[in-house]
Amino acid sequence: MAHALEHHRSGEIGHFPSRSDRIYFSADAWHFLIRGGQSMGPYTNIHEAKLALKSYIITLANLQIAFHRPCEEDHHMAPQQRTSIAH
């Protein structure tokens, strides 16, 4: 079974670098990289860093879902009354 972090993101086509390359050891601690090259950490061990990376990815996915979910009030309005602002 493939590791969850190895799947393509939405819109990705073809080969992509391994997500595990994001985790590295530096200055006596574990860290991981996020988009834009920003480093997250330090973590005391690789397991902690992997869990933090997984949590970070899940949090971002949940925020994306929440941001794109229409507000309940919007379902009761006529289309011309709905706002384009995400709730």
Residue 54 lies in a domain: yes
- pLDDT 10s digits, 65-83: 888 766 555 555 555 554 5
Residue 41 lies in a domain: yes
Residue 36 lies in a domain: yes
Q: Output the pLDDT for position 86.
A: 46
Which residue range(s) make up the domain with 51? Answer: 19-69
Residue 7 lies in a domain: no
Sequence-separated contacts (24+) of 25-30 with Cβ below 8 Å: none
Cα dihedral across residues 16, 22, 23, 27: positive or negative: positive
Residues of the chain with pLDDT under 70: 1-20, 69-87
Query: CB count, 10 Å around CB of 78?
Result: 6
Residue 65 lies in a domain: yes
Residue 79 lies in a domain: no
Residue 58 C-beta-side C-alpha neighbours within 13 Å: 7
Q: What pTM was computed for the model? A: 0.57
User: Which tokens hold the place of 29?
Assistant: 């601690």
Q: Output the pLDDT for position 24.
A: 96
Number of structural domains in the chain: 1
Residue 46 lies in a domain: yes
Please tell me the chain's helix, strand, coil percentages from 3-state DSSP, rounded to the nearest 5: 45, 15, 40
